[in-house]
Each structure stands twice: as structure tokens, then as C-alpha cells.
Amino acid sequence: MSPVIPIQAASGMGCADTPVLIQRGQREVFCGLTGIIWLHRKIQDAFFLVVGSRTCAHLIQSAAGVMIFAEPRFGTAIIDERDLAGLADCNDELDRVVSELLTRRPDIKQLFLVGSCPSEVIKLDLSRAAERLSRQHLHKVRVVSYSGSGIETTFTQGEDACLAAWLQTLPAAPTSTQSNLLIVGTLADVVEDQFRQYFQNMGIEQVDFYPPRNSRQIPAIGPQTRFLLAQPFLADTARQLEAQGATRVPAPFPLGAQGTTQWLKAGAQAFGVSDEAFETVVRAPRQRAEVSMARHREQLQGRKVFFFPDSQLEIPLARFLHHEMHMHLCEVGTPYLHRGHMAEELALLPSSTRLSEGQDVELQLDRCRADQPDLVVCGLGLANPLEAEGFTTKWAIELVFTPIQGYEQAGDLAGLFSRPLIRRLKLAA
């Protein structure tokens, strides 16, 4: 097995001071409605009602595979073109749709009204609609609104907007003197269970997750709360948690064996867990992760990877591919660079990394062609044209839908990058 490159800034602060290429041109991204796909699976008594156009309905139905659910927990209230005078009708219609839905589906305890970008929807005040509907359906369902609009956002921001808006509407938690560790960001249930077990085995008693699986099990949040971000796209949610008194624990993200170790370690240190107790818990799963990644490293090491901006996971993934898969980073593009939340990750990237924020897609395609990477990580819209030019691509969105965090998933994460290369080799043979 090849030795793993030690996860530490090789010299100075890694990429922390590296100039960033800022691009503000044409972009290729999905909108924030996409977040409904993983959020509705996570919060099992919630319903997401998109207030939008037929385009929004098509996007969400085709992306979420509506056919596999007998009773889907998302839908679209289609608002047709109306002038301002028709807004009263719109609100009446929304109230009627919600009443019918809640009568038919008493299992729904949390309703999200999700705004979109058609101009008729932007004219509607969904936050007032949510307040009105919460009053109408008091004690049965809570109603929260947020925007999943595609204007000036990227698709993972839908989750951030949802979680931040929800926090603002929660009733004040009873004051608690017991410290709690809050893991923030949607994780697959299997990953959540593993993380809970590790922290509890270290002796941290109160470990909570946000969003929760059940909308009525919102953890107490206050000055006693230390939170770890499990996803790197939650800037507004983190700001809201801090406004409610919680403290963020800085850490890299739990991708790969080393990222997971540092992330768990940051949580452990915040709760005074000894190094010995920490090692006892993580030693075996960390070794399993290293074994499961080794065969993928054989395919990936020495290869060049180029990231187009899409999911906001790009920087932690680049760190993983460089340190644990020994890949060379050509360009690491991200839609937004949050220097505070990314500080630990940036310090771990090689200082020679070309970092870019935002997009001017034609210029970025030119840079990609000049770099001739072995693997391109990009959105769906760019993948087919790049494949047609002979590049091997990985759809960035798959990395959001697949459980990739933690030790037990580290091999699967590596496999998501090695498989396209193997497929290309087979096609060429």
C-alpha cells in the first residue's frame, strides 16, 4: 500500500494566502430546489411545497424520481402568470392547496414553502404566507418558507436556505446546562449513526444532528452548544446558530480517512476527550478506511484532476484527492469561497493550487483544455460536451447524493473518482 501523504500544511499556510482567480461571467449550475431531493428523505415528517412554475415541477419530479414514492413528500403549486392584482387569488389558492394537502396527509408535521425564481412567485410574500398558514394550522403543522431560486445561487444553497430559515422559526429551547455537540448538515442515516456512535464511545453524551430525522426532535441550541459543520455549504445556517449563542468548532470536513480523523478530533478536543480515548475509538475504523482506499489509489495516483465550480464540496474533495489519492490538482473551482469555514482546508492544499471562485465558463473551459486533466469534476451541463472532447468526467452532483462522509464510506468516495477512469480505459481497450 502506498504511504499516505501526511495531512498537514507542507509549508507555511498551504493555500491560505494563495491569490484566488475571481470569475463573474456565464455560469452553469442547478438551482436550490435540488436540495429538496435529499432534504425530504432526511426529515421524514416534512413536506416541501414548491411555489413555482411548470419548469420547477419538471425539475423536481425528474430529479427526485417521483415514481418510486407512493406518497411523495414534495410537490409543486404552479403559479401561472398573474399581474399584481391577481396576488390575492394566488394567496387564496395557496391556502386552499395547503389545506387540502394537510387534510389528506395528517402525517405531515413540518411544511416548507419553497420559493422559486419566476417573477410571479417573486411577487408573492411567502414568509407572510407561512406565518398565516402556521396560524391557520396551529398545533398540527409548522410552516416555514425559504427560497430555492436559481438566481445567483448554486444548488447546495437550497439546503443552507432551508436550515437557516427553519432555525429562525423554532421555539426557544429550554435552557440546559448540559453541553451538546451538534452536527450540522444533511448526512445519510447510516453516516449519522456511525458518527453518533464514535462520539458517544469517546464519552460525549449529548450528540445531536441538524436537520433531524423527525421535525419534532429539534435539539436545544444555545451557549452550551458546540457545532461541527458536516457540509461546507452552510454559511447562513452557521451564522444563525452563532446568533443563537452556539459556537462553531473549526475543522476540515469529514471526507477520507484523514479528513474524518481531523473532524472527529476537533469535536473530541472541544469536549476534552483524551488522545488515548480518541485513538481507542478511531483506530480500527481508520485502518479499515485506509485498506478500502488503497486499490483506488493505484488508479488515481499521479493523475491530474480539474474541478469546475458546482457543489461547494470542491475544496475538501481536492484536499482528499491530493493527500489520500496522491492526485495533482490543476484547478480547484468553487462557486463561493468562505474563507472562515474553509480555513483548515485551505491550509492543507498545496500552495501551488490554482484556486478560482465563481465562473466564466468559456474561459474556464479554455484553461481546462490547456491543462489536459485526466479527470474533470463538473456539473451535468458540462459533462457530456467534455466527454465528447475526450475528457473523463465525474458529475459533481453525485457526490452530494451519495454517502461519502466518514471512515466506512472512504473507499466508496475514492471509487467515485476511480470508476470513470477505469471505464475510460475499458472503452479504449
- Interface positions with ligand SF4 (CB under 6 A): 31, 33, 52-53, 55-56, 59, 116-118, 148-150
The position carrying cell 460525549 is: 204
Query: Which residue has the closest beta carbon to ligand SF4?
Result: 150
Q: Shortest gap between Cβ of 47 and ligand SF4 (angstroms)?
A: 18
Q: What are phi and psi of 229, to 5 degrees?
A: -80, 130
Of 112, 220, 239, 231, give the one whose Cα is nearest residue 166: 112
Q: Shortest gap between Cβ of 326 and ligand SF4 (angstroms)?
A: 38
Q: Which residues of 374-394 are buried (b: 16+ CB within 10 A; e: fewer)?
A: bbbbbbeebbeebeeeebbbb
Identity of the residue, 122 or 343, whose beta carbon is nearer to ligand SF4 in the bound complex: 122
Identity of the residue, 7 or 56, whose beta carbon is nearer to ligand SF4 in the bound complex: 56
The position carrying cell 450540522 is: 184
Identity of the residue, 149 or 157, whose beta carbon is nearer to ligand SF4 in the bound complex: 149
Q: Shortest gap between Cβ of 34 and ligand SF4 (angstroms)?
A: 8
Query: For the CA atoms of 130, 135, 136, 142, what is the dihedral angle to 10 degrees?
Result: 60
Identity of the residue, 55 or 301, whose beta carbon is nearer to ligand SF4 in the bound complex: 55
Q: Shortest gap between Cβ of 172 and ligand SF4 (angstroms)?
A: 33
**Could you write out the DSSP letters of every residue in 26-83?**
------GGGGHHHHHHHSTTEEEEEEE-HHHHHHHHHHHTGGG-SS-SEEEEE-----
Query: For the CA atoms of 167, 117, 340, 380, what is the dihedral angle to 10 degrees?
Result: 120
Q: Shortest gap between Cβ of 80 and ligand SF4 (angstroms)?
A: 13
Identity of the residue, 60 or 257, whose beta carbon is nearer to ligand SF4 in the bound complex: 60
Identity of the residue, 117 or 399, whose beta carbon is nearer to ligand SF4 in the bound complex: 117
Q: Shortest gap between Cβ of 28 and ligand SF4 (angstroms)?
A: 12
Strands (DSSP E) contained in 90-141 are 110-115
Identity of the residue, 380 or 421, whose beta carbon is nearer to ligand SF4 in the bound complex: 380
Beta bridge partners of 66: none
Q: Shortest gap between Cβ of 57 and ligand SF4 (angstroms)?
A: 8
Strands (DSSP E) contained in 259-339 are 304-307, 328-334
